[in-house]
Structure 1
C-alpha cells in the first residue's frame, strides 16, 4: 500500500479500524517518507536476505523491507494492528506477521524455521522503553544475524555507540562493543512521527561479530563485574565490585595497580581491554579462594 507516510492516509486507515495510539506501548508511527527506505537499504544488502522487523506500526518499514528482502518476518505485540497490516501489506506474499512479544520469542528457532539458508538482518523502530532489553536480547542470544539497524532515542544512540572509556559509556555500551561494531547512521527529528515524541531519534547499525576473538576466561563473570561497576558509576570501581565479589576494596585496588590501572579509577574511565584484563584477573582471584 502506497502513501503510508501520508498523515491523511494513515489517519483514515486508523479510523476505519477504530485504532488509537497506546502510550503504554510507546507507539509513535513514522510519517517521514525518507527514513524507512534508508533503514531498509542499510539492513537488506541483497534480494536473498531475510529480514526480521520488531514492531510494525501500520507497516511503513515492513513495506520497504518487503520490496528488498526475500522474506520478512515481522513481530508485532499489538493485536489491534493485525487487521490494519492485512490491508496495508496485502500486495506482498513474502511477509509473515507474528503476533508476539519479541522478548518472549525463541528467535533462534524462528530463524531456523522461517529464514533458513538466508543472511538475516534485524530492523526496527524501537519504542524507547524497551530499547536496551531488545538490543541485549538480540546480541546475547548470539543469533545467526548479520546486522541490527534500529531507530532509537538520540541519547540512547549516543550511549550505545559511545567509545568504552568515555563519559557516555555504560554497561550496555560495553556489551554492545563486545558483541558488535556499532555506528550512528543518521538523525531523525521528532517531527518525523505521529504523534510527535518529546525527543529526537537516531538510526544506528550494529554489525554483529560472528565470534568474539578475545581472551575472556568467563563471559558471565566479565559482565557481572562490568554491571556492578556501572551500578555505582560515581564511586571508584573498587567499591561496588568488592561488594559483589566478596573481595576487599584494598585487594581490588592492588589488582588494578598490578595491571597498570590507577586504584581510584571509575567505571567510565576503563578502556575496553582493561575490563578484560581486570575480569580475568579477578576470576583467578576468586578461583584461588
Structure 2
C-alpha cells in the first residue's frame, strides 16, 4: 500500500489517471485535496475510537482515510460505481471501513445503522455534493435516526441560510427546519481552491448537534405553517398564512392576535417559538 496520504494532489491525479476516472458534473464531484481541512473536519466531528461514522460520498477516500484513522468504524455510502474499485485500493489498509454502493436518498439509513454500526448513536461526516445538500440533510433529520451529530461541508450560501437568525436576509424555512431539529454552527470557512476540480463558490463546514428533545408540536402542521409563511416573503404573515394554508383571514387574525403576534409582521421576523405557537393554536388543518 502506498503510504502517501490521499489528499496529496499528485497522488489524487495518479490514482484518477490509473483508473481513467472522469469527474461527473451531474454528481457534483469535487474531491478535497488539502490535508489541513481533512484533519480539521475530523477534529470538528470529535471522532474517537468509540465512534461509528457514516460518511456520504467518500469520493476516492480522502476524508474516509482520516476518519478511519480515528474512528471505531466508518461506513461510507458512494453512489458512483466507478469509484468502488478506486476506494477498494485507496482504503485497503483500513479494516474498519465498509463501502456501500447506493444513493443515500433511496436507502434505509436505520437499517444501515442497525446492521453495520451497532445500532448507533452514530456521527455523520460528509463533503456533500451541492445539488443534493438540502434533501440529504432533510432525510437525516426527518427520519428520527440514532444520530449524535452531523458535520458536513456545504456551499457557503447554504450554510449561512442554515444558521441564520430572525430578521436577517438569509433567514428562511431552511433556517427554521434546521433549528427545529438541531443546534447549528458554522465551524470553518473552506475556500474553493482546496478542491479538485475547483468549484465556482466557497464552502463552509457546519456542525449540527442533534436536540435530545424536539418541540411538542405536530410536525406536519408546523412545517406546513413555516412553508406557507415563507412562501411569499413580501406578504404579511396574515396574508401569507391565509393563502398558503387555505384558511380564512379572520381565523388567522384571531390566532395571531391571541398570541400577541402582529398581523402585519413578515415571516422573517418570527422566531421558531412563534411558528410553534401558531401551529398549536390553529384549528385542525386538512393536510393529511
Same fold (TM over 0.5): yes
Q: 1:192 to 1:240 in 2, by over 3 A?
A: same
What is the DSSP-based 3-state SS (H/G/I as helix, E as strand, rest coil) of the residue aligned with 1:149?
strand
Q: Does residue 92 of the first structure (1) align with residue 90 of the second (2)?
A: no
Q: Is the 8 A contact 1:73 1:97 kept in 2?
A: yes
Question: Which of the residues 113, 135, 141 maps onto 1:111?
Answer: 113
Deviation for aligned residue 1:285:
5.7
Q: Give me the whole-angstrom Cα distance separating, in 2, the residues matched to 1:261 and 1:165.
A: 15
Deviation for aligned residue 1:209:
1.4
Q: Is the 8 A contact 2:114 2:120 kept in 1?
A: no
What is the DSSP-based 3-state SS (H/G/I as helix, E as strand, rest coil) of the residue aligned with 1:34?
helix
Q: Which residue of 2 aligns with 1:38?
A: 40
Q: 1:86 to 1:73 in 2, by over 3 A?
A: same
Q: How does 1:192-271 map to 2 (within 5 A)?
A: 192-212=194-214, 214-216=215-217, 218-271=218-271
Q: How does 1:18-57 map to 2 (within 5 A)?
A: 18-57=20-59
Q: 1:55 to 1:131 in 2, by over 3 A?
A: same
Q: Which residue of 1 aligns with 2:123?
A: 121
Q: Give me the whole-angstrom Cα distance separating, in 2, the residues matched to 1:190 and 1:233.
A: 31
- The gaps in structure 2 that reach 5 residues or longer are none
Deviation for aligned residue 1:90:
0.8
**Deviations 1:154-182 (Å, cap 9, x if unpaired)?**
11111111124532111121111011110
What is the DSSP-based 3-state SS (H/G/I as helix, E as strand, rest coil) of the residue aligned with 2:35?
coil
Deviation for aligned residue 1:286:
4.6
Q: 1:117 to 1:281 in 2, by over 3 A?
A: closer
**Deviations 1:50-103 (Å, cap 9, x if unpaired)?**
000000111010001100111100000000001110111010001000110000
Deviation for aligned residue 1:235:
1.5
- The gaps in structure 1 that reach 5 residues or longer are none
Q: Give me the whole-angstrom Cα distance separating, in 1, the residues matched to 2:46 and 2:19.
A: 31
Task: Compare 87-96 and 258-267 and name the one that shifted more.
Answer: 258-267
Q: Which residue of 1 aligns with 2:132?
A: 130
Q: Give me the whole-angstrom Cα distance separating, in 2, the residues matched to 1:215 and 1:18.
A: 53
Deviation for aligned residue 1:38:
1.2
Q: Which residue of 2 aligns with 1:101?
A: 103
Q: Give me the whole-angstrom Cα distance separating, in 1, the residues matched to 2:27 and 2:137.
A: 17
TM-score in terms of structure 2 length? 0.94
Q: Is the 8 A contact 2:77 2:104 kept in 1?
A: yes
Q: How many aligned positions are there?
A: 284
Q: Give me the whole-angstrom Cα distance separating, in 2, the residues matched to 1:108 and 1:3.
A: 32
TM-score in terms of structure 1 length? 0.94
Question: Which of the residues 142, 162, 165 maps onto 2:164?
Answer: 162
